[in-house]
Amino acid sequence: MNHIKCILALLLFALPVSSFAKTPVELNRYSSDGSTYYRGLPAVRHGEKNGIFGGALNTSSSRARNLAVYDLESGKSWKVFKPDLGEERSIVELVMEPAAFRGYIANTDDGRFQNGPVRRDAKDRMLLVVFNSKDKTYSLWATNKQGKELQKLTTFAKDCDWHIDLRNQKIRIFTGQNEGLLLDSYDW
């Protein structure tokens, strides 16, 4: 039994963490309450067969040019970006607050959350990180978890980093130069 636990622990630590990956990112997840499914959609090339969301699915060589939102209760689906992002831009990360658990936010992400006692439910927001391969910049896009009310927050250089401060409900952008100075802050 202990051998199985050790093997499972090793497998868990061997799994890749998606954080500004240079390789294609598979966006494929459910909301924390299980009511909504999110799927990254690669660009559809001329002559390719469309998938169920209007894009070719399961093509590992393509980057996500859009995000499909599927409401499991109604059976309806739609795209977040209208039109698709195009050839130069792709979604590299999808971030949602983890579910609230006993008055605390469960820390299940890769450290992008300043975590602590947060006595509230998880927000109905998600953040999309989009990479522009032409000018090598990232942009942050905020929307509700239904993929509606999309707004672009900012664009920043490749040497910057960001995090979400759950306690103070802020998104902060930091430069990688000058000892990590704060560039900007946005309401979460």
Give the model confidence (pLDDT) of 46-80 as tens digits.
444 545 444 444 443 458 999 999 999 999 999 99
| 70, part of any domain | yes
| 43, part of any domain | yes
Domain that holds residue 28: 19-187
Give the model confidence (pLDDT) of 137-176 as tens digits.
999 999 999 999 999 999 998 888 888 887 788 898 887 6
| 156, part of any domain | yes
- Cβ neighbours, 10 Å, residue 163: 16
Amino acid (1-letter code) at residue 107: N
Give the model confidence (pLDDT) of 125-136 as tens digits.
999 999 999 999
Structural domain count, the chain: 1
The bridge status of strand 113-114 relative to strand 161-165 is parallel
Q: Judge whether residue 10 has pLDDT over 50.
A: no
In whole angstroms, what is the distance from residue 64 CA to residue 128 CA? 11
**What pLDDT does 111 receive?**
55
Q: Which one is predicted more confidently, 105 or 89? A: 89
**What pLDDT does 61 receive?**
41
| 30, part of any domain | yes
Q: Judge whether residue 87 has pLDDT over 70.
A: yes
68, with CB counted inside 10 A (0-12, 13-18, 19+), is buried
Mean pLDDT, the chain, rounded, equals: 74
**What pLDDT does 23 receive?**
42
**What pLDDT does 68 receive?**
95
**What pLDDT does 67 receive?**
95
In whole angstroms, what is the distance from residue 167 CA to residue 184 CA? 17
Cα–Cα distances in Å, from 101 out to 25, 126, 165, 167, 177?
A: 28, 18, 17, 15, 37
| 174, part of any domain | yes
Mean pLDDT within 102-130 = 65
The pLDDT confidence band at residue 97, using thresholds 50, 70 and 90, is: confident
